[in-house]
Every structure is written in structure tokens, then in C-alpha cells.
């Protein structure tokens, strides 16, 4: 499996994987196994999730002010999704700082336009989420927390629904990456997790 950093590829099963320590491989596999979960549910407690329509005033302001339709281009759906992610990644530098308040795309992008500052993954994922929403994509911000009780770190990414692939895709504008399998197919969070377990066991 590979992370696509624009023109560079990093093997997730090798030493180049971010934060990967080979001597902890068996421990990683055990955590993935212990934290296994079933994505199917027969319960009736599903959340009624609603989206802002892309013509709402705030989303329209984002789209128009930053000419997002021009930036996204005339390509297919996946091309637009990736171009917008790279655009956000290129504008916002990542740093371990508190998110600005208010934490919304217009405010954060306006700050970046006026001064050179870094923002954290929460703020970057928020901007990408609202950029996607302004362009009519269904999108969510996801906070990824570790199962390991001794790991105090976490990360925030964006997922966007692809109508052509009929699934949610993992996009990380903090590092300008998306996740693919060995066939170059873009993965969801669940697919990424399952594939990572397979790769670690084969390594």
C-alpha cells in the first residue's frame, strides 16, 4: 500500500511509513486485532446526518472568493477531489498549534492571506471539509484517535463521498496525501485500516 505525496510514494509496509517502528510490528498487529470492529449494524440508532447545501451563503462565499470552480478544473469527479485537496494542502502549513477562532474556512483562509502562520490538522481538515461542501460534495471531518492507551497523539482528516466509486475516501490535506492499495485504487478509512493489517502481517 502506498501514500501518494504528489510525485513521491512511500511504502506503508516499510521504514518510510510515518511514525512506523519495525520493532513494534507485532504490537501494531495485536492492537489492530484487539480493536477489530463490525461495520454492519442492525440497530435503529442511526444518526440523521444533514449537509449544508452548497448554495448556502457561507459556502457560496468560500467558493466565489477563492474561485474554487476554476481551481477544481473541468476534469472528472476524482480529479476535482484531489486537486482541491492539494490546493488546501498547499495554502495551509501544518503545525502543532491551537486552531484559530472562529475555526471555519473563511476565517482561516483570510488569516493565511494576511500573514504566514501554521495551523493544526483540525483546522486544515475543517477547511478542506468546507471547501468540498461548497463544491457540492458530501464531506465530513473525522477525528482519528489511537486505540493504544499510551499513545496520546491523534489526527484529524477529511472524508469525501465519491459518487463514481460509491464510497467515502480518505483525504489528508495536512500532509497532502490520499491512500491507495497496490492497484492504485483510492481507499476509505475502513479499507485503509484493514489493508494495513494485511500488509503488516505479510511483512
pLDDT, tens digit, for every residue of 1-36?
Answer: 334 434 334 444 444 445 556 666 676 667 666 666
Q: In this structure, is residue 189 part of a structural domain? A: yes
Could you report the per-residue pLDDT of 133-151, keeping only the tens digit for each?
999 999 999 988 776 666 6
**Ranges 13-27, 108-122, 145-159: which has the least confidence:** 13-27
Average pLDDT, rounded, for the chain: 81
Q: Which residue has the higher pLDDT, 70 or 53?
A: 70
Tell me how many domains the chain contains. Answer: 1
Q: Indicate which CATH number applies to the domain containing 84.
A: 3.10.620
- Could you give the percent of the chain with pLDDT greater than 70? 71
One DSSP character per residue, the chain reads: -EEEETTEEEETTSTTSTT--GGGHHHHHHHHHHT--------S---------TTSHHHHHHHHHTTHHHHH-SS-HHHHHHHHHHHHHHH-EE-SSPPPSS-SHHHHHHHHHHS--EE-HHHHHHHHHHHHHHTT--EEEEEE--S-TT----EEEEEEEETTTTEEEEEETTTTEEEE-TT--B--HHHHHHHHHHHHHH-
Q: In this structure, is residue 154 part of a structural domain? A: yes
Q: In this structure, is residue 41 part of a structural domain? A: no
The whole-model pTM stands at 0.78
Amino acid at each position: 500500500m502506498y501514500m501518494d505525496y504528489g510525485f513521491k510514494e512511500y511504502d506503508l509496509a516499510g521504514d518510510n511509513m510515518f511514525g512506523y517502528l519495525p520493532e513494534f510490528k507485532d504490537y501494531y498487529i495485536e492492537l489492530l486485532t484487539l480493536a477489530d470492529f463490525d461495520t454492519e449494524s442492525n440497530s435503529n440508532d442511526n444518526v440523521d446526518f444533514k449537509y449544508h447545501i452548497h448554495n448556502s451563503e457561507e459556502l457560496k462565499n468560500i467558493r466565489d472568493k477563492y474561485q474554487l470552480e476554476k481551481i477544481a478544473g473541468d476534469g472528472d469527479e476524482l480529479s476535482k477531489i484531489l486537486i482541491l485537496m492539494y490546493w488546501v494542502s498547499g495554502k495551509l502549513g501544518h503545525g502543532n498549534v491551537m486552531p484559530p477562532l472562529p475555526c471555519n474556512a473563511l476565517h482561516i483562509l483570510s488569516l493565511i492571506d494576511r500573514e504566514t502562520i501554521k495551523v493544526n490538522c483540525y483546522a486544515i481538515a475543517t477547511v478542506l471539509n468546507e471547501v468540498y461542501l461548497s463544491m457540492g460534495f458530501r464531506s465530513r471531518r473525522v477525528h482519528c484517535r489511537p486505540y493504544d492507551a499510551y499513545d496520546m497523539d491523534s489526527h484529524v482528516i477529511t472524508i469525501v463521498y465519491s459518487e463514481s466509486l460509491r464510497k467515502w475516501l480518505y483525504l489528508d490535506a495536512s500532509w497532502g496525501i490520499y491512500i491507495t492499495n497496490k492497484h492504485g485504487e483510492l481507499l476509505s478509512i475502513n479499507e485503509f485500516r484493514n489493508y494495513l493489517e494485511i500488509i503488516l502481517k505479510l511483512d
